[in-house]
Structure 1
Amino acid sequence: MTDTWDRTADGVDLEQAPPKTIVLTVQHPAHVHFFRHVHERLVDAGHDVSVFARRVPIITALLDRYDIPHETLVTPREHRGGQAVMQARYEWRLLQRARELDPDVIAAIGGVAAAHVASVVGARSVVFTDTEHATLSNRLAFPFADTICTPSCYRDDIGSKQFEYDGYHELSYLHPSRFTADPSVLARLDLAPDDGYVVLRSVDWAAAHDAGEGGFDDVADVVERLEATGVEVLVSAEGALPRALAEHRVDIAPHRMHDLLYYADCVIGEGATMAIESAVLGTPAVYVNSLETGVTDELAEEYGLLFCCHGPDRQLEAIDRAVEILEREDDVDWERRRVELLTEKEDTLSVVLDRLGVTA
């Protein structure tokens, strides 16, 4: 795939913004990516930025990789029954630290803790969300949040607090003005530049909004069907895999995953984030999940970079779609579709900085 995008500065001038004290909280690997460049720009402009997180290996590994100083507040419990207690402990410790820091702004994706703590310490809270079906966290966060930022394709009307922007979370870190794929990832996995491969993503369904939902019926069957087309299948799995699929698990540092997605022939999986990431990188994605979102629907309907399989026969539909993509790869100009998307969408980094109130 050739990156034809014209790389220009993102146009956000922070030099004239008075210094602020800003707190960012991250509770998922994607949140680290989302705030990575935000943190860099804020620090470079002289703002006092504190980052707080849960002690999750992949989260702390990414924060360390990107040289983001941070403080971990809790270590997640192994069992789901401890989530409420863990959330309460996280909020309590965040509150203690926020009282010491006296921040102007607290920002987060999802933003339950951010909204609650900000309302107590007198800070302004800025919450970013693109997940309509995260109903529990939305109910807990929205009443306390000052600003709720959503993509314009977000389906729900949140009211006067809602700020809509014409972009996606993933463009905060995968916009071509900041992201350039590194082909050395292929050699790291013993892949030649001409080798065909598919990335398959399976999730553990542990999130509260995933309860009662589903994706693949049989991952092994998906791998077998796709391998029959002559491609290699690399599996990125949150949970355990059947022993027969162990050799397919991709062994790669977390910060290299976007390079892998960029060079893939296709991505098929249960996770919305990875499907969206692939689409904005110009790699066709097949999203296999009973849950629907405004972002995935728009990427499917407006740009043809993502294909949604939601119904009871979603696995069979997904396999057929992935096989069709692989067989027609030379007939579709995926890069043209990506350029169309990038031309029409806002650079989300600029949106985030503006909502934090740090632009000139």
Structure 2
Amino acid sequence: MVLSATLERGTSAPDHDVPTPSESDSGVRVLFDIGHPAQVHLFRNALSVLQRGGHETFVASRVKEVTVELLDAYGIDHAPITTRGDSFPGLMWELLLREKRLLSVARRFEPDVIVSRLSPAAAHVSTVVGCRNVVVSDTHIDSRLMRILNYRMTLPFVDTVCAPDSFEMPVSAKKRRSLDFQELAYLHPQYFEPEPFALSMYGIDPTEPYFLIRLAGWDAYHDVGHRGLSPESARELVSLLSEHGTVYLSAEGDLPPDLADHALPTPPEAIHDVLYYADLYVGDSGTMSTEAALLGTPAIRTNTMVGDDDENVFHELEDRYGLLSSFGDEDRAIEAVKRLVEAGIDEAEWHRKRDRLIEEQPDVTERMVETILETATEQ
């Protein structure tokens, strides 16, 4: 029943949606496999740079959360080929379906290179059609079994892996390219300029104090065995922060009825404007915690993944730049929130910390594009 329901919800890309090669093409053909909202942000500026450089691009997308809505909002050409499964068997079925449909798209598009996060479908399809595969990765899979399975299904077929220097991955140094703080691909000042009107038109005054709480879904394969912020703690945070300003909640699923009035009213593409102007971010999402920190907004992250073996990006943001605090215990996180708001937040100080990071880190999008083009033309 689950498998049939997943199949019925799955979508396929009509042939006419996929651009085919023409005699006038002179650039590299790049197919992006995008299955998550964060990947839209990660790759969207690289897509623009490639297009301006005369290269042909296309996206095979996935119906998951607001992925399709974001691609549409940014005017990115794409075709949804699967819908996220809602159980483990459903996810396995979707993986098989995605391989089949991505292969169909690739055969029509004829890419020189497929760009993706670590994806069995992208790795396998690139091998079958005889093109290159570039992987951009920085997400640790905590479950050893899931990590081994994913690596064994993908890495033997991958040509180039862009990952932070400290990120452990069983690939040769020849295949690796250094790429730290990957969220700078869309949050570097060269690509991101905050737009207060994006908030005011939805009733948020960026000049007044407000706070953002994020509740992630915790149902991805790399989240197995872990949990984030509980509804009880979310309620406690709302009560605490409401004494100091307006509180908004962003959630992957439905909010509890008693918290629904705090739902963030802005569209998905305005989330980084929301984060930039927020006085404080607190939540269990690793990506959004990093985004807030990179925008110079005080960020407090809490989930059961936090620990000594945390991904290096979190250690760097906390220990080197002082932009993030992480807690494995949500009660300690709440205490940290209380101390911060009661002491008062010096916005200028946090922006100075962010400016230092920007000065010390390279242009992630530029490096990504260079790697894609180099890999595409390698023999």
Q: Is 1:152 the equivalent of 2:165?
A: yes
- Quote how far apart the aligned CAs of 1:101 are: 2.7
Task: Give the TM-score, by structure 2 length.
Answer: 0.84
Q: Is 1:354 the equivalent of 2:362?
A: no
- Quote how far apart the aligned CAs of 1:100 are: 2.7
- CA distance in structure 2 between the aligned counterparts of 1:151 and 1:264, rounded to whole angstroms: 28
Describe the SS at the equivalent of 1:143: helix
Distance 1:318 1:164, change over 3 A: farther
Q: Is 1:305 the equivalent of 2:323?
A: yes
**The 10-residue stretch of structure 1 (75-84 or 125-134) with the greater mean CA deviation from structure 2:** 75-84
- CA distance in structure 2 between the aligned counterparts of 1:226 and 1:320, rounded to whole angstroms: 12
Describe the SS at the equivalent of 2:101: helix
- Quote how far apart the aligned CAs of 1:161 are: 5.0
Q: Is 1:322 the equivalent of 2:337?
A: yes
- Over aligned residues, Cα RMSD in angstroms? 2.2
Q: Which residue of 2 aligns with 1:265?
A: 279
- CA distance in structure 2 between the aligned counterparts of 1:248 and 1:263, rounded to whole angstroms: 17
Does the aligned pair in 2 maintain the 1:222–1:319 contact within 8 Å? yes
Distance 1:294 1:164, change over 3 A: farther
Structure 2 spans left out of the alignment, 5+ residues: 1-25
- Quote how far apart the aligned CAs of 1:246 are: 0.7
**The 10-residue stretch of structure 1 (58-67 or 130-139) with the greater mean CA deviation from structure 2:** 130-139
Q: Which residue of 2 aligns with 1:223?
A: 238
- CA distance in structure 1 between the aligned counterparts of 2:316 and 2:77, rounded to whole angstroms: 36
- CA distance in structure 2 between the aligned counterparts of 1:85 and 1:193, rounded to whole angstroms: 44
Does the aligned pair in 2 maintain the 1:215–1:289 contact within 8 Å? yes
- CA distance in structure 2 between the aligned counterparts of 1:298 and 1:141, rounded to whole angstroms: 28
Q: Which residue of 1 aligns with 2:78?
A: 70
**The 10-residue stretch of structure 1 (139-148 or 339-348) with the greater mean CA deviation from structure 2:** 139-148
Q: Which amino acid aligns with 2:363?
A: D
Does the aligned pair in 2 maintain the 1:155–1:294 contact within 8 Å? no
Q: Provide the identity percentage.
A: 35
Q: Is 1:24 the equivalent of 2:6?
A: no
Q: Is 1:203 the equivalent of 2:216?
A: yes
Tell me which of the two structures has the higher relative contact order, counting C-alpha pairs closer than 8 angstroms and 6 or more residues apart.
1
- Residues 157-198 of structure 1: CA distance to partner in whole angstroms, max 9, x if unpaired? 643355242532211111101100011234234333442111
- CA distance in structure 2 between the aligned counterparts of 1:231 and 1:161, rounded to whole angstroms: 51
Give matches, 1:97-136, under 5 Å.
97-133=105-141, 135=147, 136=149
Give matches, 1:275-314, under 5 Å.
275-291=289-305, 292-310=310-328, 314=329
- CA distance in structure 2 between the aligned counterparts of 1:161 and 1:83, rounded to whole angstroms: 32
Give matches, 1:44-193, under 5 Å.
44-56=52-64, 58-133=66-141, 135=147, 136-156=149-169, 158-193=171-206
Aligned length in residues = 340
- Quote how far apart the aligned CAs of 1:146 are: 1.0
**The 10-residue stretch of structure 1 (157-166 or 50-59) with the greater mean CA deviation from structure 2:** 157-166
- Quote how far apart the aligned CAs of 1:332 are: 6.7
Distance 1:45 1:299, change over 3 A: same
- Residues 242-261 of structure 1: CA distance to partner in whole angstroms, max 9, x if unpaired? 21111011121110000000
- Residues 224-244 of structure 1: CA distance to partner in whole angstroms, max 9, x if unpaired? 22224x222110011122211
Q: Which residue of 1 aligns with 2:13?
A: none
- CA distance in structure 2 between the aligned counterparts of 1:155 and 1:227, rounded to whole angstroms: 41
* Deviation >6 Å, runs of 4+: none
- Quote how far apart the aligned CAs of 1:48 are: 1.6
- Quote how far apart the aligned CAs of 1:349 are: 0.4
Q: Which amino acid aligns with 1:353?
A: V
Q: Which amino acid aligns with 2:292?
A: S
Task: Give the TM-score, by structure 1 length.
Answer: 0.88
- Quote how far apart the aligned CAs of 1:200 are: 0.4
Describe the SS at the equivalent of 2:157: coil
Q: Which amino acid aligns with 2:317?
A: L
**The 10-residue stretch of structure 1 (318-327 or 197-206) with the greater mean CA deviation from structure 2:** 318-327
